[in-house]
Amino acid sequence: MQLTPQQLGQFHDEGWLFLPGCFAEAEVALLRDEAEGIYKTNRQEVWREKTGAPRTAFAAHTYNEAFRLLGSHPRLIRPVEQVFGEQLYMHQYKINAKAAFEGDVWQWHQDYGTWARDDGMAEPRAMNIAVFMDEVMPINGPLMLVPKSHKHGVLSAGHDLETTSYPLWTLDNDTVTRLVDEGGIVAPTGKPGSVLMFHGNLVHASAPNITPYPRRIVYLTLCAVSNYIRKPTRPEWIAHRDFRPIEPVADSALMDYAAAHKLAAE
């Protein structure tokens, strides 16, 4: 999959791009089933809300075949290669749950702020590309983005260790208000299989999910190989040290695996 000049222009100007219908329902159904199996484990990579509900599962591409294939999928890798103009490695991989009724807030933050402070990443030549596993609606805690906020570089942030079970470098209310006055807020919504990509410095957040509808999203943090982290402080399964370029699998790989998985179940 290749981005058009218009799509590349929007990404550079606004810092985000929404791509509906990138993955088929059979592919997404497999990912949902595999994610639920992972959430039920006691692996150290699975972090939970204070209620015990799953919050995120790290590094699933290292221990689950379906998520390994997704992490090397050309529909995700090729567009980011276009933006950075070079090959990529996987800096981080997580499956965020936002469970029905229990999914907690993700405070206002920039991802690159964490990658720079905690992992020693030199430049914001990394980004998240997100795959919707459920329908993301205005009511079930969609990701909120502040367009154009990536143009302000790395902003001052405080290390919030108390609000949720996951420590985060968060922005203060005055900073967020100023940025929203300039760029507004968008909350991309869409069907399972949609893809959202956004700049590492784009300010974003999500509200709690108090609805019966889960909002599970897979996030690949793809980094230019020349921009590998120098001073990691977090465990390897959070900030990866395998800097080898990702070699994309065949476009049909996930669908083929889904078909084989279904056949084996029957």
* pLDDT exceeds 70 at position 162: no
The CA distance from 36 to 29, in Å, is 11
* Across 121-140, average pLDDT: 96
* pLDDT exceeds 90 at position 104: no
Across the chain, mean pLDDT equals 92
* pLDDT exceeds 80 at position 160: no
The CA distance from 165 to 49, in Å, is 6
Q: 5-265, superfamily in CATH?
A: q2cbj1_9rhob like domain (2.60.120.620)
% of the chain exceeding 90 in pLDDT: 80
To which H or E segment does residue 182 belong?
Answer: helix 173-183
168-192 confidence digits (pLDDT tens):
788 889 999 999 999 999 999 999 9
To which H or E segment does residue 143 belong?
Answer: strand 143-145
The answer to whether residues 222 and 115 touch, using CB atoms and an 8 Å cutoff, is no
* pLDDT exceeds 90 at position 211: yes
The CA distance from 46 to 55, in Å, is 8
Q: Which residue has the higher pLDDT, 156 or 223?
A: 223
| pLDDT reported for residue 163 | 60
Q: Which residue has the higher pLDDT, 64 or 265?
A: 64
pLDDT confidence band for 259 (50 / 70 / 90): confident
* pLDDT exceeds 70 at position 164: no
The residue ranges of every structural domain in the chain are 5-265
